[in-house]
Amino acid sequence: MLLVTNNEKVRTKYGPLCTVRFVDGGHNDVLKTVRDLVHKGHRLLTHPLAGSVKPNETPFRSVALSGEAGAVDLPSLELIEEAMSMCRQFPPRFHRGEDAPPDMRDDFAEIDFRLIDGALSLQ
């Protein structure tokens, strides 16, 4: 499995467990990295818009993809393009984690961590 994240909390737990592609950037930078990986043939394992904390609110995002790359997976491509187009509609409130006030930053990071951790621990 390949995990793309800009959340330090996710990197700390999953770094030793799988391949983590850490993105030094904001929410939309994570989605762009995911899109590039989908173009290279990785398949999405989790939804790129997890959580009802709106994508333009949270600065953190973690998305799981297949470790191996094959032919381009069209459903994955469609999902990531739709997610990015949804994000383009709403300008991000906090571009990067450090733009959010510290207590909110921690809470956003915790929610992102819990959502991806919950999804992966069930598998």
Partner 1 sequence: MRLELGEIHISDIKLGDCSKVENGVLYVNVEELRSLLLEDEDLASVEFEVVHPGESVRVIPVKDVIEPRCKVEGPGGMFPGVISKVNTVGSGKTHVLKGCAVVTTGKVVGFQEGIIDMSGEGAQYTPFSKLNNLVMICEPKEGIKQHEHEHAIRMAGLKAATYLGALGKDVTPDETHVYETSGVMSGKAQYPDLPRVGYVLMLQSQGLLHDTYVYGVDMKRSMPTILNPTETMDGAILSGNCVSACDKNTTYHHLNNPVIHDLLEQHGKTLNFVGVIITNENVYLADKERSSDWSTKLASFLELDGAIVSQEGFGNPDTDLIMNCKKLEAAGIKTVIITDEYAGRDGASQSLADADAAADAVVTGGNANMVIHLPKMDKVIGHPEAANIIAGGFDGALEADGSITAELQVITGATNEMGFNKLSAR
Determine the 3-state secondary structure of 22 from DSSP: strand
- DSSP code at position 2: E
Q: Does 55 bind partner 1 (CB under 8 A)?
A: yes
Query: Can you name the residues that pair with 64 across neighbouring β-strands?
Result: 3
Among 46, 60, 80, 97, binds partner 1 (CB under 8 A): 46
80 sits in which H/E element: helix 74-89
Dihedral sign, Cα of residue 82, residue 85, residue 89, residue 90:
positive
**Segment 65-104, which members bind partner 1 (CB under 8 A)?**
79, 82-83, 85-86, 89-90, 93, 101, 103-104
Q: Between 8 and 106, whose beta carbon lies closer to partner 1?
A: 106
Binding site for partner 1 (CB under 8 A): 44-55, 57, 64, 79, 82-83, 85-86, 89-90, 93, 101, 103-104, 106-108, 110-111, 114-120, 122-123
